[in-house]
Chains A and B, each alone.
Chain A
């Protein structure tokens, strides 16, 4: 009998084109997502070497990072941006790549539209020149971020040479408290294992709390896998997954879908499969989380306090805490609840899907953001935006004092004009609180959509559970 295999083992085995070493293989890439920031040099490399694009039908592109999110936007954006948007448009046309252009109703953040359009599928490999490509692992797909050289490699060969990661499983048992979401689970996890806690691993999330998450929640969870260093972040496909995939524009249909689902049912880890590392947490005990530092692992529960650098685990950590507090303008021992904020950002590939907007709107409905708080909502895609508008969510946001924008990466990547000003403090539903991430000297606190909405109302970091009561 064949040895018991994990979900990741099955993904690996089914994509090996050739072994290159004991743990190194050339693997087939089923789907390649391209966007304007990290692709131009790959296309010019291909051209200089005189190499054709091997499988244009497996590549899809959109502009998301540098596009303006202003209502009525076109190609105009920050200096140099238009040229990048035009270059991608031209490269896609030249090579016959399906392109979702700035004004296309399907345009959006790559990691939002790849699943939404049925491009990312269970059991498939998907890469993109962006670290948050692990998001699609929520479907039981193997997605990971690559650099521009590898983008060129995929364009030329439809494969990548990869070192096989080890297997890790993180279980979340129990039920989430009301007001606590997938974002809180993943921030909690990163706080426990650190930003390199899953480096070298394909990390599978399992347990009752994961099974009961919506697909949107699972995307959030897998999205931040890279913030723990993971090479892949995965959730085994189940009925929730199949129901999500069915009917999407590029997803299989009819008999094709039936045979695909039969195949996908074989993907979950075998019961006796052995993981190199296993962790387990009780989801019921996890409170809403907020970061206080400049690295996603610098996080605490909402009822917690900013730590004292003296309490760091070693000299490196003590120095990192001290540097973070200085950058963030926070004193040790400050309660997180009540820290004044200037900005609110709801969006990004982590939290810009319909479910995320619903959770924020549930907090904001009939209420107003505190005076002086500048708040924006940036839907993850044109599809999300239209669905939200059909439900009237945009009215709730606008009435609460938020700006309702066009889709893009916006204030998460901070590449376009959407930036947090120097020394301004922002609560953001995005994934990185690095120094300068949202703009030079900008101060970022990562949290869930519900927590960002609650902070908008209070003008300060607040506990979403109290608003829901």
Chain B
């Protein structure tokens, strides 16, 4: 069971880049692991550290107010590339509980709902305005309310966001998706029984 998600409130870190890929979010050297833990350190590892593993002070998540960031605001097509779910685990283990962006890549988006990371989709123009406010007021706080489906920007502006309905329910209820699916065990068994006759070659 994952934790229920209702409201995420806290410091918002600006990442004004489009097409942020999961290789950047969780570089592979941190992906060599048998565990689901320990991905906070690798979160944006190649941008946070140089080749000698020294912190890069210019990168947003290394700057003091953003080390405690709970929300990330980024450009379009966030999370593109590799399907690695470690990218989602990295957000949560670093402390980011919500990502606000104009759009998300679909595998990453799906992975968010399995783990309790809240992906909020806002129009490009709104995200640009929020990024501009965050640039002016370093360490500003925001909130993302999943119940009301709203983002409260640093200037107090309230914006309704889009989110996949099934994903939203999963986050709100902290559902065990496998448990949900197993309620359809009879339908699965019936499908498979019929399929053995319809497409026997799948079953040999």
CB interface residues, B 12-45, toward A, < 8 Å = 16-19, 21, 23-24, 27-28, 31-36
Bound Cα distance from A131 to B18, whole angstroms = 19
**Taking the nearest CB of chain A, how far is it from the CB of B97, in angstroms?**
17
CB interface residues, B 100-145, toward A, < 8 Å = 103, 105-107, 110-111, 114-115
Q: Is A152 an interface residue (CB 8 A)?
A: yes
Stretch at the interface among B3-11, B154-162, B187-195: B187-195
Q: Is A56 an interface residue (CB 8 A)?
A: no
Bound Cα distance from A49 to B81, whole angstroms = 30
Q: Is B75 an interface residue (CB 8 A)?
A: yes
Contact between A147 and B84, CB atoms less than 8 A apart:
yes
* Among candidates B24, B76, B84, residue contacting A434 with C-beta atoms closer than 8 Å: B24
Contact between B77 and A195, CB atoms less than 8 A apart:
yes
**Taking the nearest CB of chain B, how far is it from the CB of A122, in angstroms?**
10
Contact between B187 and A17, CB atoms less than 8 A apart:
yes
Residues of A within 8 Å of B76, CB to CB, are: 196, 316
Q: List 14 other contacts, CB 8 Å, given A37-B84, A199-B105, A435-B24.
A: A30-B202, A55-B192, A84-B32, A144-B107, A145-B83, A147-B107, A149-B177, A153-B181, A163-B166, A199-B103, A200-B106, A260-B199, A319-B17, A440-B27
Residues of A within 8 Å of B114, CB to CB, are: 147, 149-150
Q: B47-83, CB under 8 A of A: which get 1 and which 0?
A: 0000100000000000000000000000111001111
Residues of A within 8 Å of B105, CB to CB, are: 196, 199, 229
Residues of B within 8 Å of A323, CB to CB, are: 17
Bound Cα distance from A157 to B28, whole angstroms = 29
Q: Is A124 an interface residue (CB 8 A)?
A: yes
* Among candidates B31, B103, B178, residue contacting A153 with C-beta atoms closer than 8 Å: B178
Identify 15 residue pairs between A and B in the complex whose beta-carbon atoms are under 8 Å apart, listed by A's number: A17-B191, A66-B32, A81-B32, A84-B32, A147-B88, A147-B107, A150-B111, A157-B178, A157-B182, A157-B184, A259-B200, A316-B16, A432-B21, A434-B24, A440-B27
Bound Cα distance from A256 to B196, whole angstroms = 12
Per CB-CB distance, the 8 closest pairs between chain A and chain B, nearest first, are: A252-B201, A149-B114, A147-B85, A147-B111, A80-B32, A145-B83, A196-B77, A131-B83
Contact between A252 and B18, CB atoms less than 8 A apart:
no
Number of chain A residues whose Cβ lies closer than 8 Å to a Cβ of chain B: 80
Binding site for A on B (CB under 8 A): 16-19, 21, 23-24, 27-28, 31-36, 46, 51, 75-77, 80-85, 88, 103, 105-107, 110-111, 114-115, 164-166, 177-178, 180-182, 184, 187-188, 191-192, 195, 199-204
* Among candidates A196, A256, A437, residue contacting B204 with C-beta atoms closer than 8 Å: A256
B21 closest partner in A (C-beta)? A434
Residues of B within 8 Å of A309, CB to CB, are: none
A441 closest partner in B (C-beta)? B51
Bound Cα distance from A157 to B82, whole angstroms = 24
Contact between B103 and A196, CB atoms less than 8 A apart:
yes
A86 closest partner in B (C-beta)? B34
Residues of A within 8 Å of B111, CB to CB, are: 147, 149-150
**Taking the nearest CB of chain B, how far is it from the CB of A371, in angstroms?**
27
Q: Given A121-B202, A196-B77, decide whether A436 and B188 contact each other with a Cβ distance below 8 A.
A: no
Residues of B within 8 Å of A145, CB to CB, are: 83, 107
Q: Is A159 an interface residue (CB 8 A)?
A: yes
Bound Cα distance from A36 to B27, whole angstroms = 17
Contact between A129 and B83, CB atoms less than 8 A apart:
yes
* Among candidates B31, B33, B83, residue contacting A146 with C-beta atoms closer than 8 Å: B83
Bound Cα distance from A383 to B191, whole angstroms = 35
Residues of B within 8 Å of A389, CB to CB, are: none
Q: Is A372 an interface residue (CB 8 A)?
A: no
* Among candidates B16, B35, B201, residue contacting A260 with C-beta atoms closer than 8 Å: B201
* Among candidates B82, B165, B201, residue contacting A256 with C-beta atoms closer than 8 Å: B201
Q: Given A145-B107, A146-B83, A156-B178, decide whether A121 and B201 contact each other with a Cβ distance below 8 A.
A: yes
Q: A140-170, CB under 8 A of B: which get 1 and which 0?
A: 0000111111101100111101010000000
Bound Cα distance from A180 to B195, whole angstroms = 42
Q: Is A279 an interface residue (CB 8 A)?
A: no
**Taking the nearest CB of chain A, how far is it from the CB of B94, in angstroms?**
18
Q: Which of A147, A152, A163, A414 has the most CB of B within 10 A?
A: A147
Q: Given A80-B32, A316-B75, decide whether A432 and B81 contact each other with a Cβ distance below 8 A.
A: yes
Contact between A436 and B27, CB atoms less than 8 A apart:
yes
Residues of B within 8 Å of A149, CB to CB, are: 85, 111, 114-115, 177
Bound Cα distance from A422 to B85, whole angstroms = 26
